[in-house]
Amino acid sequence: MHTKTRRNLILSTGLSLIALLTTVAVAQTSRPSPTPASDEANGTYGNYNVIASAEFGARGLSVNGDQEKYKSDLNYRAGARLFNTSFFVQDHTTGMKLFDEALVQASGWGSDPTGSFRLNMSKAGIYKFDSSVRKVDYYNNLNNFALGYAFPTNFGSEHRFSDVKRHFGDFDLTVFPESQTFRMRFGYSFNNQSGPGTWTMRYPGFEAHTYTPPPVTSGTPLPNTTGTRGDEFLVNSDFKNNSQDFRAGVEGKLLDFNLGLNYGHRNFNDDTRYYLNQFSLGNDTSQATTGTISATVNNFQRTYPTKGSTDFFNFYVQRTFARRFDFSGRFIYGNSTSDIGQIDTGSGTSSGNTTSSTARVIFDLDQIFVTGKVKRPQSRGDIGLTYRITDNFRISNTFNFDQFIIGGTSDFFENMQGRSQFTNANAPNGVPFNSNSHTLFTDGTHYRRFTNLIEADYQVNRRFAFNIGYRYTHRRVALSAFEKNLIGGVTVEDEFEEDSNSTNSLILGTRFKPTNNWNVYVDFEKGQSDNVFTRLSNNDYTSFRVRSITNLKLWTINVSGLIRDNDNPGTSVPISFTNSSTTPPTTVTIPATEAVASTSTRFFSGSVDYSPVDRWSFSAGYTYNHQTSNTDVIVPVGTPVITTGTAFSFAKSLYYVRDNYFFFDVTVKPTKRLTAFVSYRIDNDSGQGDKVATNPFDIITSYPMKFQTPEVKVTYRINDHIDWNFGYQYYSYSERQIPNPYAWVVLAGSPNRLGTVANQNYSAHMPYTSVTIYFGRSDR
Amino acid sequence: MPSTKRLKIVLLAVFAMFAIVWFASGTLYTVLGTSTADDLTGLTMPAAAADDGYVGSDTCAACHEDQFKSFSRTKHSKLGQIKSWKDKVQGCESCHGPGKAHVEGGGDKTKIVNPKHLDPKAASETCLACHAGKESHNNFRRGEHWRNNIGCNDCHSAHPSERAIAENGSMTLIKEQADNKLLKAGEPQLCLSCHNEQKSQFTKPFHHKVLEGTMKCSDCHNAHGGFESKQAKLSVGADVACIKCHSSKQGPFAFEHAPAKLEGCTACHIPHGSSNPKMLKRASVRQLCFECHTGITEELSPQAPSLHNQAQVRYQQCTVCHNAIHGSNSSALFFR
């Protein structure tokens, strides 16, 4: 829709809404109401009830150790801040008034890295308004051992976000919210992200560039100008993307059916810029004067203006027939579109050799222009039915289908101008070139899935109930890729592949109450799930979960456990893998074995809350997470470990979590005016322990770390309305690298790569003081 | 005329038609009504219903003063002010049933409905009689909470003793957010009181800021059930909840990284929290990539080629080169 038309539509809709609300408000008979007596202790001020608390404070900060990791994990800063604050007011006057009740909440503004503001207002019979605005100061440091160490010491590795500001907002208005016959809904959301960071790129492109020079009449023929592989470069980025959502809908009841129809529209823009304004040697810094020299960049600019939009509508229907048969259905149709634009401009050199035919190429100008359009129409439908056969026995069936197609074109044009660095009498300044490539890509993704879950639940008595169910899922996925060289008219790629699979699952569950205040839940599920990773075949999974919640007079005890195993049935036939990277392709045969992809998960969690008297309370908990993932993979390893060329081998990919989490919170009121809060949290993951790879192919990882934070806070009640808080919080983080003799290899010309990366340990001290102001809190 | 524009016009026309039909049916007056200025509490009973054994909430207040007072503070008590509700049963007896026999029986407990003594499903049917018509509640009878006998009264209280207040404990983590949805406790404390194992995940170095109060469990999950797995919400039509905030990953892209759309974000990420950067399921990015891009089967995900020599550190950081891993508009190999 044209921007101006959309603006007019929004404006007219907003004006209509305001007119409607004003009319309705004025229609209310205005009559002065008697003023009741005030009771400030309970928050009653005349016709108003006000319950509020606000905490304003200031934090000190001292960080030792890895500042970047601290900012990535916590990012608390010294300075003033607003903590969990709420303001709730009820207006009991009759006649014209703006609201019956309003709730304002805010937290985290100031020196906190995240903050939120929420406003909820409502007036009976007229409207309900919910809104929230949130901000996040996003700092994401990834320079750690688990991600590898691809760059020299003075560079960060990979993608970092340095103080990227993220803002989110949601506004929802329901008109006539209590009406069962007609309601209107309007909504608006925004989502902005902007800020500096770093990114990586591979330059020049992976594709080798070859220019065949003209023949010479005498002397040494001019060689082909061939640029070989490039290098990885760290570039700067200014992240900037945003989206805006608009929603409108009507709901109501017609012929006893509850109906709803909603329309939504999202605009999305990505104007992120990537740039490199100084000479860069990249990852491989070998710059010998002769022989092989790595790629370099003189400058680089990328603009990435991408605009997208989504239009969707959502229709739902629900009805309960004779209090026995409940039916609900939903249909969603959405169409997302992206308009692609990208412009790259750069100059530099490829890697290559200054003296041989694989000459290093100097790019005086390398420009890429990309345009295109992609669409994704998607439809989703759901039907749920529940039949209450008796008061204790119900049968339900839920059917879902989901289908989408992603398809579009990307028109890729590249112009490269430069010269080879090789010189001879026939080319004293190098062999120049000016070449274009123009490629059209059309890729498609087709997805269709439907799921049916039928289940029955029976309430034997107040103390015991059980349910049984069966789920069937069928899924079909198809991927297509088409690539055509528009200059030569040659179709480079035209592929289509399709896969479909079905899964079956059995679900059992029971709930029983041994006593009135003790509930036990047991769930068992066995069946098949999609094998997300190796695609060998579906996983056979077994999941068993038990939870016990006991609410005694002074105690609440919650214990839960989960056992889940995903096992791939594997194969017992030899697996042949064709290495198409070699010429001619070679075939690697893996001996007959049962290829495995299995994950076992064990979760145990327990917590206790104890509140014997008003003056003190205690809560503590422990969670243990035990996970082992074992997946067979095929990994290529070459020089310098394998000196006879690259070898592919069947290998193990193992991942471990052995995580222990413990916390306790104690609140004590030794006197009427004094309250002390003490808390301690520790998270300790020992990971893989001492397990290391015994061959260069296996990948064994975990993230052993310890994170703990003790905290002490003392609150002094100055009067009925004001508390003064002061406290201290300490954070400590440490991690442990597991040495892997095959992981780190000296890269020629880059002596800093050997060895391990420094652990990102840090500790932080945070003294804190604040004032909390209360209104209407008679419970204090 | 582009098909999208035509679709928008059709939808607007349908919307307008709905409004016209509704206006013409005369229900506006029913919805708007007039204020009941004479009735400050709004807790009245329709005259016709009085013959069915209803006595009105004022009668209940004579004995149950505390419950009446707490009820009077809630939105349920305001229904009497709305004309469209004047012919319906509201007030105490909308949940507890007709009170005449209970009053005449001198407060006989067997002659009044007490949802506390009903099993959770039966008690929830009382609430669903009014609340079932909204999309967020339509599938409560087929949700996980229902299946595990968690009813409306386990999280909500129709006459709460507590009001919308914020509770702090730690200096950095909130305990409860103030709430106006008649919850017995605020988020996240309410959810964590049962789902206590999630607390450890939200304490990991990389996590969604739920314990800090910036996000709520209900931002991603619908506690009242839904058609999606884990009672997750959808956003922007039929997209996963993640896309609501992480809009840069929505696409569509000219070159899709298939699992992102086919399997969902949880194929690679742990949504609550993880020790692994970017909340990934594996500590090492290359490990995550190899578990799909392995030649054990050539279906749908190609094997990493021989030049990706894992003995060299430059090839152990897949996303340094393949940096547009959620999808690219210009490179089939996600180079840009």
Three-state SS string across B291-321, please? CCCCCCCCCCCCCCCCCCCCCCHHHCCHHHH
Output the CA torsion B52→B58→B64→B70 (10° steps): 110
State how far residue B233 is from chain A, nearest Cα, in angstroms: 13
> How close A602 gets to chain B, by Cα (Å)?
12
Q: Which residues of B touch A409 (CB under 8 A)?
A: 254
- The whole-angstrom distance between B6's CA and the closest CA on chain A is 9
H or E element that contains A238: strand A231-254
In this prediction, residue A601 carries a pLDDT of: 94
HSE-up of residue A469 (Cα within 13 Å, Cβ side) = 26
**Beta strands A273-276; A231-254: pairing state:** antiparallel
Cβ count within 10 A of residue B165:
20
Please state, in angstroms and rounded to a whole number, the distance separating the CA atoms of residues A246 and B236: 10
The pLDDT value given to residue A180: 86
Cβ <8 Å between B329 and A306: yes
Give residue B184's region: left, alpha or beta (phi > 0; psi -120 to 50).
alpha
Q: Is the Cβ–Cβ distance between B291 and A633 less than 8 Å?
A: yes
Tokens 């990994």 sit on residue: A635
A200, A156 Cβ separation under 8 angstroms: no
Dihedral in degrees, nearest 10, Cα atoms A143, A146, A151, A156 = -10
CB-nearest to B82 from A125, A332, A603 is: A125
B125-to-A326, A385, A390, B152 alpha-carbon distances in Å = 11, 15, 14, 9
- Is the separation of the CB atoms in A487 and A436 below 8 Å? yes
* Single pTM value for the model: 0.87
The C-alpha atoms of residue A500 and residue A506 are separated, in whole angstroms, by 21
Whether B12 has a pLDDT exceeding 90, the answer reads no
- Cis check: omega of the bond before A636, within 30 degrees of 0: no
Among the partner residues B247, B283, B296, nearest to A655 by beta-carbon distance: B283
For residues B10 and A303, the model is more confident at: A303
Pairwise CB contact (< 8 Å): B197 & A562: yes
Distance, CA of A650 to CA of B290 (rounded, Å): 12
Q: Out of B14, B281, B290, name the one closest to residue A261 (CB).
A: B14
Using CA coordinates, name the residue in chain B closest to A257.
B133
Chain A hits for B82, CB-CB cut-off 8 Å, are 124-125, 178-179
CA distances from A652 to A65, A536, A630 (A): 35, 15, 7
Say what the pLDDT of residue A430 is. Answer: 75
CB contact under 8 A, B199 and A581: no
C-alpha gyration radius of chain B:
27
- Tell if the CB–CB gap between B78 and A125 is shorter than 8 Å: yes
Distances (CA, A) of B242 to A186, A234, A644: 21, 28, 47
Distance between CA atoms of residues A386 and A469, nearest Å = 13
- Distance of residue B270 Cα from the nearest chain A Cα, in angstroms: 13
Our CA-based measurement puts residue B60 at a distance from the nearest CA of chain A, in whole angstroms, of 21
Write out the two tokens for A388. 């209450």
Q: Would you state the pLDDT for residue A201? A: 83
Contact A338 B310 (CB under 8 A): no
Q: In whole angstroms, give the CA distance from residue A547 to residue A521.
A: 5
**Among candidate residues A747, A760, A752, the one with its CA nearest the CA of residue B316:** A747
Which residues have CB under 8 Å from A495's CB, separation 6+? A479, A480, A481, A482
Please report the pLDDT score of residue A17 as a whole number: 45
CB A759 within 8 A of CB A739: no
Q: What is the CA radius of gyration of chain A?
A: 33
A244 touches chain B (CB under 8 A): no
| Pairwise pLDDT comparison (B133 vs B45), residue with the higher score | B133
**Quick check: A451 and A473 in contact, CB under 8 A?**
yes
Q: Is the ipTM of this complex over 0.90?
A: no
Give residues 611 to 630 of A whose Cβ lies within 8 Å of B.
621, 623, 625, 629
Residue type for position A340: I
**Residue that is written with structure tokens 């619908």 in the block:** B222
Q: Confirm or reject contact between A450 and chain B (CB < 8 A).
A: no
CA-nearest of A607, A603, A510 to A563 is A603
Whether chain B has a CB inside 8 Å of the CB on A236: the answer is no
* Strand, coil or helix: A325: strand
C-alpha of A531 from chain center: 21
Q: How far is A539 from chain B (nearest CA, A)?
A: 14
Q: Tell me the mean pLDDT in the region B229-234.
A: 91
The model's confidence at residue B326, banded by pLDDT at 50, 70 and 90, is very high
- Closest residue, chain A, to B146 (C-alpha): A457
Whole-angstrom Cα distance, residue A399 to residue A553? Answer: 43
Cβ burial, residue B186 (10 Å; 0-12/13-18/19+): buried
Gap from A349 CA to chain B (nearest CA, Å): 17
Nearest CA in chain A to B193: A558
Low-confidence ranges of chain A (pLDDT < 50): 1-33, 150-157, 206, 745-755
CA distance A177 to chain B (A): 10
Residue B223's contacts (CB-CB under 8 Å, 6 or more residues apart) are B145, B155, B191, B217, B231
Question: CA–CA separation, A292 vs A220, rounded Å?
Answer: 22
Disruptive mutation site among B203, B310, B333 for chain A (greatest number of A CBs within 10 Å): B310
Instruction: Note the Cα B180 to chain centre separation in Å.
Output: 14
Q: Touching check for A288 and chain B: CB below 8 Å?
A: no
Rounded mean pLDDT of B75-96?
A: 85
Mutate to test the interface with A, among B1, B117, B171 (most CBs of A within 10 A): B171
Mean pLDDT of chain B: 81
Task: Say if the Cβ atoms of A374 and B330 lie within 8 Å.
Answer: no
Q: Spell out a b/e string for A405-430, using b for 16 or more CB atoms within 10 Å of the CB, else e.
A: bbbbbbbbbbebbbbbbbeeebbeeb
The answer, for A333 touching chain B at a CB cutoff of 8 Å, is yes
Distance CA A720, CA A706 (A): 41
- Residues 6 or more apart from A654 whose CB is under 8 A from it? A628, A629, A630, A631, A688, A691, A698, A699, A700, A701
Among all chains, which residue has been given the structure tokens 């009668």? B59
pLDDT number for residue A570:
62
Pick from B27, B215, B248: which is nearest to A241 by CB?
A: B248
> Out of B281, B296, B303, whose CB is closest to A536?
B296
Contact A453, A397 (CB under 8 A): yes
| C-alpha–C-alpha distance, residues A574 and A593, integer Å | 7
Decide if B284 and A335 are in contact by the 8 Å CB cutoff.
no
What secondary structure does DSSP assign to B53-71, as a single string? Answer: T---HHHHHHH-HHHHHHH
Q: Looking at residue A36, what is its pLDDT? A: 55
Residues of B in contact with A235 (CB under 8 A): none
To the nearest whole Å, the CA of A215 is away from the closest chain B CA by: 34
CB A232 within 8 A of CB A197: no
Q: Please, is A719 exposed, middle or buried when counting C-beta atoms within 10 Å of its C-beta (0-12, 13-18, 19+)? A: exposed
CB distance A766 to A726 below 8 Å:
no
Instruction: Enumerate residues 6+ apart whose C-beta is below 8 A from A580.
Output: B305
**Residues A143, A213 contacting (CB under 8 angstroms):** no
Contact list in A for residue B28 (CB cut-off 8 A) is 182
